[in-house]
Amino acid sequence: MPAARPAAGEAAAVLAGAAPEAVIARFGEPLLRRQEGDAEIWLYAGAGCHLDIVFYPAEDAGAPRVAHAATRADAPGSDAACLAALTRRPA
């Protein structure tokens, strides 16, 4: 039986709880950052896919953490493939 493909958004869920520094280390600086109340929203865009990340302050008043992450593809494809395409390559 072949392995199930991840559902949309499933692979992006691995980012939950990550600090902004960890996200920058993996994807670089976001294309766009905006504040909405307590939330900070980051956008990454690549060839054919986008990654939306929402940070909220930690409940213990600590540093912001990823509360939500989701990919959007221009064409059918896996969430994991989009994340891989957006991940920075070592210099």
For residue 5, the model assigns a pLDDT of 39
Give the whole-angstrom CA distance, residue 40 versus residue 54: 6
pLDDT tens-digit readout, 18-57 = 999 999 999 999 999 999 999 999 999 988 899 999 999 9
What whole-number percentage of the chain has pLDDT above 90?
51
Whether the per-residue pLDDT at 16 is higher than 50: the answer is yes
Q: Given this model, what pLDDT does residue 75 score?
A: 74
What pLDDT is recorded for position 48? 84
Cα 88 from chain centroid (whole Å): 13
Beta bridge partners of 44: 51
Q: What is the pTM of this model?
A: 0.80
* Cβ atoms of 74 and 49 closer than 8 Å: yes
Angle at Cα 41 formed by Cα 18 and Cα 83, nearest 5°?
55
